[in-house]
Amino acid sequence: MTSRVFLLALAAGVACAPNGRAPGEPGPGPPPQPSGPAAEVWLTTPDGSRLLSREPDAHFDSGPAPSITTIAVDEAATYQEIVGFGAAITDASAWLIQNKLTPSQRESLLRDLFGRNPGIGLSFTRLTMGASDFSLRQYSYDDMPAGQTDPTLVHFSIDPNRADVLPVVQRALAINPQLKIMASPWSPPGWMKTSGSLIQGTLLPEAYGPFAEYLRRYVAAYGAEGVPIYAITVQNEPHFEPSDYPGMRLEPPARARFVGGYLGPLFAQNGIGTLILDWDHNWDQYQSPLQVLADSVAPRYIAGVAWHCYAGDVAAQTLVHDAHADKDAYFTECSGGEWAPNFADNLKWFVRTLIVGSTRGWAKGVLLWNLALDEHYGPHTGGCGNCRGVVTINSASGGVIRNVEYYALAHASRFVRPGARRIESTTGVEGLETVAFRNSDDASKALIVVNTAALDRSFAVRWAGRSLTYAIAAGSVVTLAWK
C-alpha cells in the first residue's frame, strides 16, 4: 500500500512539473536562430508613436512562404530607373532656410534633408524660374517698365536668386552631389505675354524665340553657378491662369509649336542636355500631353511628362506611358495643407498614392511642393494660404517640425538611391499596397508596404527562395531593407 501511494505521488509530480518535463529530462535548448539574411525594419504608425522608427530586424529563412498573404519580390522583373524623391526649394523655402535659421541650424536641417544616414537622402528638387505664389514678391529675370520690351534679353539676370535660392541649392548639392534639379517657370516676363503682365495671359507669337532664349539663359546661368539643371518644363500648370500670382495658359498646340520649333532646336544647337518635360499639371487632363505627343515634331525633343496631384487619378500616368512608352514620367508637385490636417489619413494617402502609386505608374522621380514653410504657411504672395511644407520652420526660434510629408518621403528617399530600379512586387492584396526597388550600387533592396485596410495584417515576403513574415497595424507604413 505504501509503495502504491509513492508511485501515485510521483506520477502526479511529473504531471504537474511546470516545464512539462520529467525531473532530470534535458530541455530543448535555445530557440533556433534565423539563418537567412536580415531585413531592417523601419516603421511609421498612424498615431505618430513610431516615426521612421528602427524596429527589430526580420529574417528571411529557407522554405515556402507561410499560408498567409504573400508579397513576392522578383528582381528579374525590372522597370524604370529612379532619379529620386524630394520637394521644391521655392523662394519661400530658401528664404526661410537662409534667413530664419542660424548657420548651425541651417546646416543641421540641410544635412538631415539631403544627407544620408542619418539624413533622409532627398535627391530630387524643383526650382521656380522667377516668382511663384511662394515668393516674397512677383518678378521674372527680365522685367521691363510697362510698354517696353527686351527681345534680345539685354536685361536678363538671375540676380533675384543670389541671396537665398542659389546658396541653399549649392549647399544641398555639396551635401548630396547626386541631387537632380528641375525647374519650371510660372510665367515668362510680362512683356512676352498677351496680358502684358506676369498675371494670366498667354505667350505672344513674336515671343516664342525670346522665351526659348530666356530658358536657355536660365540653364546656362545656373550652370555657371555650379548648379546643373537636369530638366525643365516650359510652363507650370499650363491650363490654369491664377488671378493673384504669376501664371500663363499654354494650350497643347502652342506647347508643341514652342518646343518643336523653338526650344528643342535651340537646346540641340547649343548642346544643352537638360531634359524638356511636357505638361506639369494634373492627372485629370491627360489628353493635353497626349495631344502634344501626337505632334509631328515636338516629341523628338520631349523626354517625358510631368504630373501634379490636385485632380484626377494617378492611373493617368500609366495610361500615357502605355501610349508613349519611350517617354518617361515624373511626378513634380503635390502639397499637403490644413484642409487635410489628420496625420493618419495623410500618411496613408501620400504613401499609397505618390510613393507607391506614382512610382508604379512609371515615375522616375517624386516631388512634393514646398520643402519648408513657416508657422503661418508662408511666406507667400497670393495663391495658397494654408499649404503645408515638408517641414515647418518657426520664424522666431528657428525650430523645425517634421510634418507627415517628411516621413512619407523618407520611407523611400532614405532607402532608394539614385540609379535604383523599380522591381516587381505583389500589391493590392488584403489592403497591402507595395512597391519595391533594387539599388544599383550595392544590390540592396527596399520594399515599402502601406496597410490601407482598417484591420491589422500579417504578411509574408517571398524573395529568392526565402520568406520572412511581418505583422503591420492598420494605417501603418513599413520599409523593409535588405541585401
Range of the domain at 138: 83-418
Do 380 and 436 lie in a common domain?
A: no
Q: What is the pLDDT of residue 63?
A: 76
Whether 1 is in a domain gets the answer: no
Do 97 and 242 lie in a common domain?
A: yes
- What are 365-376's pLDDT values in tens digits? 999 999 999 999
- Give the E-state strand segments of 118-216 in sequence order: 124-129, 180-185
Confidence of residue 104 (pLDDT cuts 50, 70, 90): very high
- What are 308-351's pLDDT values in tens digits? 999 999 999 999 999 999 999 999 999 999 999 999 999 999 99
In this prediction, residues 224-233 reach a mean pLDDT of 98
Q: Alpha-carbon distance 365 to 123, whole Å?
A: 9
% of the chain at pLDDT higher than 70: 93
The CATH number assigned to the domain holding 478 equals 2.60.40.1180
Q: Alpha-carbon distance 332 to 231, whole Å?
A: 11
Note the residue count of the chain: 483
Do 71 and 94 lie in a common domain?
A: no
Burial class (CB in 10 A: 0-12, 13-18, 19+), 67: exposed
What type of residue is 196? G
Element (H, E) at 481: strand 477-482
| Active-site annotation holder among 333, 405, 424, 430 | 333
Do 341 and 389 lie in a common domain?
A: yes
Whether 6 is in a domain gets the answer: no
Q: Alpha-carbon distance 182 to 124, whole Å?
A: 8
Q: Are 238 and 193 in contact (CB under 8 A)?
A: no
Q: Are 328 and 302 in contact (CB under 8 A)?
A: no
| Active-site annotation holder among 25, 55, 213, 237 | 237
Q: Are 439 and 416 in contact (CB under 8 A)?
A: yes
- The torsion angles phi and psi of 93, rounded to 5 degrees, stand at -60, -50
In this prediction, residues 173-186 reach a mean pLDDT of 98
Say whether pLDDT at 466 is over 60: yes
Among 12-16, 199-203, 281-285, 392-396, which stretch is predicted with the lowest mean pLDDT?
Answer: 12-16
Say whether pLDDT at 188 is over 90: yes
**Helix, strand, coil % over all residues of the chain, rounded to 5:** 30, 30, 45
Whether 28 is in a domain gets the answer: no
Confidence of residue 33 (pLDDT cuts 50, 70, 90): low
Q: What is the pLDDT of residue 36?
A: 83
DSSP for 197-220 reads SSSS--B-GGGHHHHHHHHHHHHH
Whether 32 is in a domain gets the answer: no
Do 75 and 89 lie in a common domain?
A: no
Do 391 and 312 lie in a common domain?
A: yes
Final residue before a domain boundary, out of 418, 440, 473:
418
Q: List CB contacts of 134: < 8 A, sequence separation 6 or more.
A: 90, 91, 92, 93, 128, 369, 370, 373, 378, 379, 380, 381, 383, 384, 387
Q: Are 111 and 172 in contact (CB under 8 A)?
A: no
Do 211 and 312 lie in a common domain?
A: yes
Place of cell 513599413: 478
Do 365 and 389 lie in a common domain?
A: yes
Q: How many domains does the chain have?
A: 2
333 an active-site residue?
A: yes
Q: What is the pLDDT of residue 28?
A: 55
Say whether pLDDT at 143 is over 60: yes
Do 286 and 337 lie in a common domain?
A: yes
Say whether pLDDT at 363 is over 80: yes
Final residue before a domain boundary, out of 388, 403, 418:
418
Do 440 and 349 lie in a common domain?
A: no
Final residue before a domain boundary, out of 387, 418, 449:
418
Do 412 and 279 lie in a common domain?
A: yes
pTM for the full predicted model: 0.93
Measured from the Cβ of residue 248, the count of other Cβ atoms closer than 10 Å reads: 28
Whether 399 is in a domain gets the answer: yes
The CATH number assigned to the domain holding 285 equals 3.20.20.80
Q: Alpha-carbon distance 27 to 112, whole Å?
A: 50
Whether 58 is in a domain gets the answer: yes
Whether 26 is in a domain gets the answer: no
Q: List CB contacts of 85: < 8 A, sequence separation 6 or more.
A: 122, 123, 124, 355, 365, 366, 367, 409, 412, 413, 416
Whether 8 is in a domain gets the answer: no
Do 475 and 374 lie in a common domain?
A: no
Of 397, 393, 390, residue with least CA distance to 376: 393
